[in-house]
């Protein structure tokens, strides 16, 4: 088995993947236009290359975790993009949450050059990625998906093959729909407790193991309890990017999402209040502001 694996896009998620794959015995090579990201890759045991094309010429399996649609277009179809790499048969595991038409265009470009793009969004946060607590929502060429089994195992907890290209993104939209709601629901419960005069720590400790808990309450609840929003593993900015994608997808299906729509507004309020780069748990602070809650005054 080829032990070389590439990573393009070395943000919070990509850094954790690189470290876990290195620890699993893979030789990781990668590229990111941001110098600080390249430093993170080297500190994670990887080797920095000059372009996406260079990565695809050094590794037959490449993971991509990108922040924007424009980045995918450039990484695949640019002058130094993966499609231009020498050879055929390279497999790109595309892990980003992006609009379907952008991913399909990238798929078509890769196919034109004899290369394979898999649509494999990830369910999980950067904090979960550190512990390989990620779920792969895979779709595309089934044989190619199966050839990536060892790479998937090196960076994730479980992998689901969902069918033809694009089905992974559909499932990710559904998953993020729930995350959007559950995160705000967790914050709303915390604020209800605070308004009732209860200690946030008591609210969290009691509900985290109750019938009313959720994965989001368990993960984001401690951040809400401690008002710890400035070391994000998923930002309100990124959540708003996903919200826009899900809005467009639901609109294309004429599918009303009233609970989701209400929850989404809290993230927009967070951005308006200057919390765009904070962790998504900061929706709790948004709701506290809406209710005139000042925790310092409550404890003084």
pLDDT, tens digit (0-9, with 9 covering 90-100), for 205-246 = 999 999 999 999 999 999 999 999 999 989 999 999 999 999
Number of H helices, E strands in the chain: 15, 9
- Burial label, 52 (beta-carbon count in 10 A; 0-12, 13-18, 19+): buried
Same domain, 123 and 210: no
Residue 2 has pLDDT above 80, yes or no: no
Q: What are phi and psi of 51, to 5 degrees?
A: -165, 165
CATH code for position 241: 1.10.1040.10
Residues 23 and 141 in one domain: yes
Question: What CA–CA distance (Å, rounded) separates 262 from 36?
Answer: 37
Same structural domain, 18 and 152: yes
**Overall number of domains in the chain:** 2
Do 74 and 185 fall into the same domain? no
Q: Are residues 70 and 195 in the same domain?
A: no
Closest CA to 49 of 61, 64, 33, 65: 33
Range of the domain at 84: 4-164
CATH of the domain at 103: 3.40.50.720
**pLDDT digits over 139-182, tens only?**
999 999 999 999 999 999 999 999 999 999 999 999 999 999 99
Q: Domain end: 148, 164, 180, which one?
A: 164
- Which of 131, 164, 197 delimits the end of a domain? 164
Is residue 158 domain-shared with residue 289, that is, in the same domain? no
Kindly tell me if the per-residue pLDDT of 300 is higher than 70.
no
Task: Specify the pTM.
Answer: 0.93
Q: Which of 103, 132, 164 is the last residue of a domain?
A: 164
Same domain, 295 and 182: yes
Cα–Cα distance, 78 to 72 (Å, whole number): 9
């Amino acid at each position: 088995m080829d032990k070389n694996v590439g990573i393009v896009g070395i943000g919070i998620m990509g850094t954790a993947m690189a470290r876990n794959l290195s620890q699993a015995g893979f030789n990781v090579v990668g590229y990111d236009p941001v110098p600080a990201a390249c430093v993170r890759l080297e500190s994670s045991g990887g080797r920095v290359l000059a372009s996406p094309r260079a990565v695809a010429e050094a590794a037959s399996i490449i993971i991509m975790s990108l922040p924007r649609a424009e980045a995918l277009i450039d990484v695949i179809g640019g002058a130094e993009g993966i499609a231009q790499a020498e050879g055929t048969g390279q497999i790109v595991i595309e892990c980003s949450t992006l609009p379907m038409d952008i991913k399909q265009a990238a798929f078509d470009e890769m196919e034109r050059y004899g290369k394979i793009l898999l649509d494999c969004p990830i369910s999980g946060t950067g904090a979960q990625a550190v512990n390989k607590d990620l779920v792969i929502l895979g779709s595309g060429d089934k044989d190619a998906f199966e050839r990536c089994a060892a790479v998937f195992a090196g960076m994730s907890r479980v992998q689901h093959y969902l069918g033809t290209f694009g089905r992974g993104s559909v499932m990710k939209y559904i998953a993020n729909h729930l995350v959007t709601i559950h995160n705000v629901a967790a914050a709303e419960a915390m604020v209800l407790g605070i308004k009732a005069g209860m200690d946030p720590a008591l609210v969290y400790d009691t509900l985290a193991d109750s019938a009313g808990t959720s994965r989001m309450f368990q993960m984001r609840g401690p951040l809400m309890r401690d008002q710890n929003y400035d070391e994000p593993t998923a930002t309100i900015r990124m959540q708003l990017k996903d919200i826009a994608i899900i809005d467009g997808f639901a609109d294309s299906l004429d599918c009303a999402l009233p609970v989701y729509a209400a929850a989404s507004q809290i993230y927009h309020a967070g951005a308006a209040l200057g919390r765009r780069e904070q962790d998504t748990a900061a929706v709790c602070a948004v709701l506290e502001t809406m209710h005139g809650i000042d925790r310092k005054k409550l404890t003084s």
